[in-house]
Structure 1
């Protein structure tokens, strides 16, 4: 009986271990071993968390399909890894919680690398530069940062532009009001109808909209809210998965695939990884 009980216990422990590898943290609680890449390869899918209202990085087209520059990058990376990719829209304000709860496996959507985020996430090397700037209507008469004094300024809640201005009390207090909005699309719509006088946002997004409507918007010159670089964010300690994605992006940079995708979206190669 004791022998049978021992054998039964072994099977229970083996079964529990298999379940734990599928549902628990990507790190072994006992050994600290990084199994993040094994976890993804085993399930055969990378779930990418994104804001689906963030053109040209990731957004919905007229047919409600999620498209964008980062979408094309993620698709190619997963293809080379031999796994599927799933794009999961999330609230940008709760993106880190979605990641920690394993509803998503990474954050990949024009995601700025900041010291605060690096404390709680693991990032790839930067793959693109993306300064945060102020966008105004071309006919607004606002030319400099000083012209924003007494004006209403908006930014996407949870964005690095929003967080940076929140910390810069001198700049923030010079505004009549500083408001957070759901996404950049709404921010620009509010700007157009007079809900705000300026929007703090990503250069790549601003350039995209200015290309679509060249005479509608302008960027306040010689003013940068934050010099930012983009990376792919993973759960803290998911180094093996992070390195695999990073190495694949470097491979794509080397063989010209990154340049090709960038030129399709921006007309030039703006990628920086591996340089």
Structure 2
């Protein structure tokens, strides 16, 4: 066989090999590229939900160390209707998108704020609740506005939308003495109580619930920093799975189930999906 012919034959064999290798390397898809994300969840019979287990009232550990919360009740009902098991997987919130995209979890469902930055790497469901970032101070402090915190220290949760909200308020951030980033909001509130910081920047939903549970020890300043919406996060290609869960939530909204769950946790219906 001539050398030129041999080269052509080998090139053809390599091209076919690469073609088949590419077909076998599809992510969450069949050989024709179709999205199989819900089919795979249905086949394994389990949805792995990633969450910060210290984020009341959306998802947190109760006195019996059981993970409970508004989002947990929603997810359990969705799983029940879809005939699958729900596995709750606590994660490091600062690396939530990596946890999702490496396949350690199937979705992030824990009061996650929809942001332009996250939209680049995460597929979101329809928004299901409104929220805003607020400043929490001790009830007996003299602080009334965010301007009163000039030269003071605030705490926030690392990797949270509170940090994004603060970055968007450049003048306010520049006026602060220090910004302390901690693992979760519970630690932030502990720092506030001990006087290590003067205020905490956090989700209003969480702040109001925390104050309700802890009494009148804390106070929320009237002016919020940024309006937000909560959504459920999925891998960008998992449209089938997102649609299945999103449609189930809409059914739950239509038959009044979400209203009942919202009233259980908040005393009123504050949900937005299906409305």
Q: Any conservation in 1 of the 2:49–2:105 contact (CA below 8 Å)?
A: yes
Task: Render the CA deviation track for 1:62-86: whole Å, top value 9, x for unaligned.
Answer: 1111011100000000000000000
Q: Which runs of 5+ in 2 are unaligned?
A: 1-19
Match of residue 9 from structure 1: none
Counterparts of 2:210 and 2:55, CA distance in 1: 11
Match of residue 137 from structure 1: 138
Cα offset for 1:163?
Answer: 2.3
Counterparts of 1:71 and 1:197, CA distance in 2: 32
Give the SS at the match of 1:110. Answer: strand
- Mark the structure with the bigger radius of gyration: 2
Match of residue 187 from structure 1: 188
Give the SS at the match of 1:227. Answer: strand
Counterparts of 2:105 and 2:87, CA distance in 1: 9
Counterparts of 2:172 and 2:27, CA distance in 1: 41
Task: Render the CA deviation track for 1:105-142: whole Å, top value 9, x for unaligned.
Answer: 00000011111111111111000001111111111111
Give the SS at the match of 1:109. Answer: strand
Cα offset for 1:225?
Answer: 1.5
Name the stretch that deviates more: 173-182 or 210-219.
210-219
Give the SS at the match of 1:111. Answer: strand
Give the SS at the match of 2:110. Answer: coil
Match of residue 167 from structure 2: 166
1:33-44 equivalences under 5 Å are 33-44=34-45
Give the SS at the match of 1:241. Answer: helix
Give the SS at the match of 2:112. Answer: coil
Q: 2:28 aligns with which of 26, 41, 49?
A: 26
Cα offset for 1:167?
Answer: 4.5
Q: Any conservation in 1 of the 2:146–2:172 contact (CA below 8 Å)?
A: no
Match of residue 58 from structure 1: 59
Give the SS at the match of 2:234. Answer: strand
Name the stretch that deviates more: 129-138 or 205-214.
205-214
Match of residue 231 from structure 1: 231
Equivalent pairs, count = 254
**TM-score normalized by structure 1?**
0.89
1:116-265 equivalences under 5 Å are 116-221=117-222, 223-265=223-265
Give the SS at the match of 2:29. Answer: coil
Aligned alpha-carbon RMSD (Å): 1.6
Counterparts of 1:139 and 1:32, CA distance in 2: 60
Stretches of 4+ aligned residues off by more than 4 angstroms: none
Q: Which runs of 5+ in 1 are unaligned?
A: 1-15
Cα offset for 1:250?
Answer: 0.6
In the alignment, is residue 270 of structure 1 matched against residue 275 of structure 2? no
Name the stretch that deviates more: 99-108 or 166-175.
166-175
Counterparts of 1:130 and 1:232, CA distance in 2: 14
